[in-house]
Each structure stands twice: as structure tokens, then as C-alpha cells.
Amino acid sequence: MPHITIKHFPADLTQEQEDTLLAKVTDAVTGAFGVGEGVVSIALEPVAPEAWDEQVYQPEIAGRRHLLRKKPSY
């Protein structure tokens, strides 16, 4: 605990970009929840743009709006 999944359009991140992203998310999560970095897990899940509505927007954004803490502007 906690586990974070970041769903995103496919992107070619360099190893440095990925490392920076993971470090910043880990830092934010450990600070907010008061846990050590060893208990944080993070997954990066690319989703094709044409599948975004069906796989992400409808089930996780529109369908779980009550859980969102930051809503998209689209």
C-alpha cells in the first residue's frame, strides 16, 4: 500500500524521464501518506487513444466520478 496505476496514451519516455516520473510520484505519495518508499508500487499502463473512452474514461472517470480528486477538463 499504496499502489498507483498511471494510464496514459502510448509515449516513448526515456529511462531518465521514467525514472524522474516515478521518483516524483513516489515522493508525493510517501509524503502524503507518511509511508516509506518500499511500500509504494507504481504501474505505467499505455492505452491506445482509440480505446481511451471504453477502457479508461467511461469505467474509471465517468463511472467513478465520486472518487476523483482531480477531474479532467475534457
User: Tens of pLDDT along 11-43?
Assistant: 999 999 999 999 999 999 999 999 999 999 999
Question: How confident is the model at residue 24, as a pLDDT?
Answer: 98
- Which residue has cell 529511462? 15
Q: Count the Cβ atoms, other than its own, within 10 Å of residue 40.
A: 19
Which tens digit of pLDDT belongs to each residue from 37-71? 999 999 999 999 999 999 999 999 999 999 999 99
2 as an active site residue: the answer is yes
Catalytic residue among 2, 10, 46, 72: 2
Q: Which CATH superfamily is domain 3-67 in?
A: Macrophage Migration Inhibitory Factor (3.30.429.10)
Q: In the chain, count of helices (H) and strands (E)?
A: 2, 2
pLDDT for the residue numbered 29: 98
**d(Cα 36, Cα 27) in Å, to the nearest integer?**
9
* Domain ranges within the chain, ordered by starting residue: 3-67
**What count of other Cβ atoms lies within 10 Å of the Cβ of residue 29?**
19
Threshold 0.85, pTM exceeds: yes
